[in-house]
Structures are given as structure tokens and as C-alpha cells.
Chain A
Amino acid sequence: MSTSTSYSLKENIVASARVKWLILKTAMEERLVYRGDFAFATLVRFLPIVTQIFLWNAIFDNASIDGDTDRVLNGYSYANMVAYYLLVMVARAFSSMPGLANGIALSVRDGSVRKYLIQPVDMLDYLFWHRIAHKLVYYAVAIGPFCLVFWLCRDYLPGWPAPQVTLAWTCSLLMAFLIGFLIESLIGLISFWFLEVSSLIFVYMMMNYFLSGHMIPLEWISEWIPWVNYLPFKYLAYFPAAILLGRIPPETLVVELSIQASWIVVLLAANRVAFRYGVRRYGAFGG
């Protein structure tokens, strides 16, 4: 009988990187199996962008007086609004996590979560790399339509941003991905206690829609709900878009990015605690 092997730190790092790479690779392969459905679903997601742009067009048209096409609503012209909306959609391409919380809840309910408990893997890490694979495949397909929409709306967009703004925007997008992932996985982990979390997901989706700046720019909401700025939701959509539109004053940019990073730390800790206690509560359902 073999005895347990101990590994050096370097061996652990290399082995862990290889596992992550294999999860990424395998999940990408899996994602490409149903290519027809996948391509269709990706393209269909662009329809709401088009309808939303038309909707804002109608709103601004209605609001303008005597053909005054430069009407500004709460600090946003029509061009600003289109640019804001398109950039919000880019941020959401990073921060939205379709099926993550539901997937975790389902695996707890049907018992398939056991594979993460039995094998020497970290469940959150596994799901994280799995999700990155999903995103990468999505971007590979969505980049074409995204470019097309941006090119068609080029007149509404501000010019190329300064390199430091682009860097801040990139950081905020990557962190938006992490926050989106950690919020949804946390909701999923709650299923260790309640099994069914679909209403919780619904509530989260609603809050996300209003409080992330997806529906309307966040400045409009923060007038009557000032605490919206203290929630993590704004970093999922509004914040990255606002950076690129120059709506975040340069002197507060670093502070805001730090707050965004702090949310990641808080949510990661919450995930770890939820997993630890959730697994202890777990009754290993499903046979």
C-alpha cells in the first residue's frame, strides 16, 4: 500500500496551474459541443441592445422641445446615453454569470456537488476556471457583433481614452468579473441551507438591474437612493462605463478602484465562510 506523498511548494504551484489549465481547456471544449445553440444564444443577446437604443431614441425625441435634438436628460445627451448603454453592456459581458448560482444549487440538490468534496479540488476554484472558459468562448463569438454595434454607433462614442484611463477601465472590467462571480457563487452556496435559491436569484437579478446602472445611469438613482454608491452592484456595470466616459474624477479613480478591490476581498471571505459552514450542514442528498 502506498503512503501519502508530500509535495513541495513549487510542485504544488505547478500542479495547481496544470489543473486550472485543464479545467479551462476541457470546459472550453464542452462549451463548443453545442455550437449551433451557443452561436444563436450569443447573437440573440444583441437584440436587446438594439431595442434599448431605439427606446432611448424615442425617449429623447419625446423630451426634446421644438426639434431641439441636443436635449440633455439629467446630464446625459442622447449620444452620451447610447455610449453609456453600450459600455454598460461591455461591463455586463464580464460581470453577468448566467446559470452559476442555479448550477451550484442544483448540484447541492441532486448530490453531484459531492465530486468537489471527494476529489482533491477546490470547488470555487474549479467553478471559477470553468466560468472563465465560458466567458472566453463567449467573447470569441461575441466580439464580431460587439465591434459591429460599436462601429455603427461610432458617432455617439467619445474618442479613444488616455492610456491610464484604458488601464483603469480594464482593471475595473476584470474586477467586475470577479465581483459578479463571487456574488452569484455566494447565492449558490446558500443552497446548502435552503436548497432552493431561485427566488433569491430573482431578487438579485432585479437589484442588479436597478442598482448596477444597467437600467438607467446610476447618477439618476443616487439622487433618491444615496446609499446605492455603497453597494457592490455599481461595480458590475456603471463603474467601468463611467470610467471610460470620464465621469469618474481622476482624483477619486484610485479610491474607487480600491473600494472595488475591497469588495472582492469581502465577497471572497464570505464565500469561504459560506462554503465551510455549508459543507458542514450538508446532508449529501441524492442517495
Chain B
Amino acid sequence: MPAIVVENLGRTYQVYRKREGLLASLRGLFRREYRQVQAVNDVSFTIEEGEMLAFLGPNGAGKTTTLKLLSGLIVPTSGTATVLGHVPWKREDAYRRRFSLVTGQKEQLWWDLPAQESFRLHKEIYRVSTQDYNSRLQELTELLDVTELMSQPVRELSLGERMRMELIAALLHRPDVLFLDEPTIGLDVVSQRKVQQFLLKYQKEQGITVILTSHYMKDVEALCDRAIVINKGAVIHDGALAEIVDRFSQHKIVELHFASDSTPNGIDRYGVVLEDRPPMLRLQVEKQKVSAVLSQILAEYSIEDISVSERPLEDVIAELFSTEGG
């Protein structure tokens, strides 16, 4: 049974168009120009229970707006959506008890108090029994390695520690659906990895449905098998993460190890030289020319070792968004 069904969802914002300069500002006092921005445009997808899906797209693509719609924060201008059978923007308590939204902004905790005070309030708000609360809190604090920090005011925690506390607050009531909007933004590599590992383990154990948006492809590759790529408010890909490289990348990477100590001149006629570290050279070659290029190179030069690989997901996504104009 699908946990999330989205059909032709759209959301338009009216944005005040401010022209440059003081004179324009004064004119703006009397007459304002507005323009319509289509943040989400005719988006449709279905997510099954227990699936973990990545939402990819450049800034302003409509990822966060979609998550806001699914959390009931904003009302769509067109289309429908149901999450666990609820229409999110009706904001029924029965729905609000079953999902969580975690954003990089981290705002669920009381700043001047230890996180455990906020957790206690969450316990009551979400009506978690004392027994469940104690066992979940112990489990989550151990998994996220924050047991020692429970009595420290939130303002004294590092960004990574605060993020982990936010995750605990979001999961204490065992939501069935979790929306993660850039959960590792601004975190160092160690904290990022901790959060990744935790999410992977927790999602597998609890079988919750997760939508993740992230600019870190490492997050996405570590956690999700399926990805929806969204740009300018519209879905441009919905399928396996691995397919993105295959579908959108026009190139492959050819790594050559020459028999001599140097790399030859003129090799750039076969493709773009990405790295030249004699005797190794990495070349970006158009996909359909790979076999022709390989046979020519092998015929022309003395090669010790050769390998062909896909381009990293991160590069493909970056290229995709820059060509799509994101």
C-alpha cells in the first residue's frame, strides 16, 4: 500500500518584484509589481510504505516546497496529495502524530534548556507512554551517541550534536513518515557519517517511510535506492538512483596507465583530460565513442592498464542542473 500519493501537485507563490534603487523603492510604496512563481508544477509520484527516497534538485527547484506541502505547512494551488491516508494541509492531529519534519534549521528544541526538557514536552504533546519514552530515548541517545550531552543546554551544543538531538525529538513518537530536509547541512564529515549511519539503521529497523532532500550526494548514495529529480518545479526523473548516471551522463571516465614514465601529447583529441599524473591519465570520453577511442588508443600507445567507469553521481547531477538551468 502506498504511504504517499501525490497527484498533479502545484504551488504558486506571488512574489513582490523590487526594482533596484531608492526611486523604485519609493514608487513601490504606491504601486507594487508582483510576479507568479511556480514553485511546484504538476508533480506526481507514489511512495510505498517503508521506502526511503531521495529528492534531488538544485536550490529553488521545488524540493522544500513539496516537503512543506506534504507536512501541511502550506496549501497547494492545484492537485492533491495524501500521506498515510490524510490530506496533509488539513493538519489533523491524527496525521500530525504520525509524521515528523526535520530541517537543517533545527528549531524544535528550547535553546536555553537541556534537550531532555524539550523531549519531555514532546512526550506529552505526542502522548508517548512513560515506558515507551524511556526505552526509545535510551535507544536513540545510544545510537546517536549523545547520552553524555542530555543535561547540557542546547545552546552549548555543537551543530552536529544539536542536529542529533533534533533527530531524537523528531523520532520519539515513532513517526511512520519522516521528511528530512537537508539534515546534514553544515555538519562536519564525522557528524555527517554518524547521522547517515543512524538513519540507515533506524529506517531498516523501523521500516518507516522517508523522503530525504540533500545536496550531499554521499548522503543520498548511502541511504536511498530510489530518487526523484526535480527541477523548476517539475519531476524530470523518477527511478533507481543508479539510473540517473546512466540516463543523464553523456560521458564515461577512461583511466589509462602508460608503459612509459610520461603521458603522451595530443591525447586530448580523444576527450577531455581530467587528470594528468604520469604515467596515469584520466580522460572524459563521450559514451558512444568509448569503444572506438579505446581501440585507437590501444593501437597507438603502449598501455599497461586501462579501466572505464561511470562518472560520479555528484558530477552528473551538477552537470544536469547546470544544463537544465537550475
Let me know if A284 and B73 touch, CB within 8 A: yes
Let me know if A18 and B91 touch, CB within 8 A: no
Q: Does B103 reach chain A (CB closer than 8 Å)?
A: yes
Kindly identify, within residues 151 to 176 of chain B, every residue whose CB is under 8 Å from any CB belonging to chain A: 153, 174, 176
Kindly identify, within residues 164 to 206 of chain B, every residue whose CB is under 8 Å from any CB belonging to chain A: 174, 176, 181
Let me know if A282 and B103 touch, CB within 8 A: no
Q: Does A87 reach chain B (CB closer than 8 Å)?
A: no
Q: Which of A117-125, A214-222, A232-240 contacts B (4 or more CB under 8 A)?
A: A117-125
Q: Does A33 reach chain B (CB closer than 8 Å)?
A: yes
How distant is B181 from chain A, measured CB to nearest CB, in Å?
A: 8
**Cα A119 to Cα B173 with chains together (Å):** 11
**Interface residues in A, total, Cβ within 8 A:** 31
Let me know if A284 and B108 touch, CB within 8 A: no
Q: Does B19 reach chain A (CB closer than 8 Å)?
A: no
Q: Does B286 reach chain A (CB closer than 8 Å)?
A: no
What are 11 of the A-B contact pairs (CB < 8 Å)? A7-B127, A114-B101, A117-B71, A118-B71, A118-B73, A118-B100, A119-B126, A120-B93, A120-B126, A283-B13, A287-B181
Contacts from A to B (Cβ < 8 Å): 1-2, 4-7, 15, 18-19, 22-23, 26, 29-30, 33-34, 111-112, 114-115, 117-121, 280, 282-284, 286-287
From A1, A29, A280, B75 is in contact (CB under 8 Å) with A280
Q: A18-B124, A286-B105 are in contact. Are A26 and B176 (CB under 8 A)?
A: no
Let me know if B113 and A29 touch, CB within 8 A: yes
How distant is B175 from chain A, measured CB to nearest CB, in Å?
A: 9
Contacts of A112 in B (CB 8 A): 105, 107
Kindly identify, within residues 197 to 253 of chain B, every residue whose CB is under 8 Å from any CB belonging to chain A: 207-208
CB-defined interface of B104-145 with A at 8 Å, one 1/0 digit per residue? 110110101100011011101111000000000000000000
Kindly identify, within residues 43 to 81 of chain B, every residue whose CB is under 8 Å from any CB belonging to chain A: 49-50, 64, 68, 71-75
A-B contact count (CB 8 A): 87
Q: Does B97 reach chain A (CB closer than 8 Å)?
A: yes
From B13, B64, B113, B174, A287 is in contact (CB under 8 Å) with B64
How distant is B150 from chain A, measured CB to nearest CB, in Å?
A: 15
Q: Does B98 reach chain A (CB closer than 8 Å)?
A: yes
**Cα A22 to Cα B125 with chains together (Å):** 9
Q: Which residue of B lies closest to A111 (CB)?
A: B105
**Chain A binding surface, main DSSP class:** loop
Q: A26-B110, A26-B121 are in contact. Are A4 and B97 (CB under 8 A)?
A: yes
Let me know if A120 and B125 touch, CB within 8 A: yes
**Cα A147 to Cα B151 with chains together (Å):** 37
Let me know if A33 and B120 touch, CB within 8 A: no
From A1, A15, A29, A283, B74 is in contact (CB under 8 Å) with A283
Let me know if A22 and B93 touch, CB within 8 A: no
Q: Which residue of A lies closest to B127 (CB)?
A: A15
Q: Does B22 reach chain A (CB closer than 8 Å)?
A: no
CB-defined interface of B309-323 with A at 8 Å, one 1/0 digit per residue? 000000000000000
Let me know if A22 and B98 touch, CB within 8 A: no
**Cα A22 to Cα B128 with chains together (Å):** 14
Let me know if A2 and B113 touch, CB within 8 A: no
Of B107, B126, B174, B181, the most chain A CB neighbours within 10 A belong to B107
Q: Does B26 reach chain A (CB closer than 8 Å)?
A: no
How distant is A30 from chain B, measured CB to nearest CB, in Å?
A: 5
From A23, A111, A280, B121 is in contact (CB under 8 Å) with A23
The 9 residue pairs across chains A and B that have the minimum distance between CB atoms? A120-B93, A120-B96, A4-B94, A284-B73, A33-B112, A22-B124, A19-B124, A284-B68, A112-B107
Let me know if A1 and B107 touch, CB within 8 A: no
From B49, B104, B117, B124, A1 is in contact (CB under 8 Å) with B49
How distant is B315 from chain A, measured CB to nearest CB, in Å?
A: 26
Let me know if A19 and B125 touch, CB within 8 A: yes
Q: Which residue of B lies closest to A27 (CB)?
A: B110
Let me know if A114 and B107 touch, CB within 8 A: yes
Let me know if B98 and A4 touch, CB within 8 A: yes
Let me know if A30 and B112 touch, CB within 8 A: yes
From B74, B113, B127, B208, A282 is in contact (CB under 8 Å) with B74
**Cα A30 to Cα B113 with chains together (Å):** 6
Q: A115-B108, A283-B13 are in contact. Are A22 and B103 (CB under 8 A)?
A: no
Let me know if A26 and B94 touch, CB within 8 A: no
**Cα A280 to Cα B122 with chains together (Å):** 25
Of A1, A2, A7, A280, the most chain B CB neighbours within 10 A belong to A1
Contacts of B75 in A (CB 8 A): 280
Q: A19-B125, A118-B71, A120-B96 are in contact. Are A287 and B110 (CB under 8 A)?
A: no
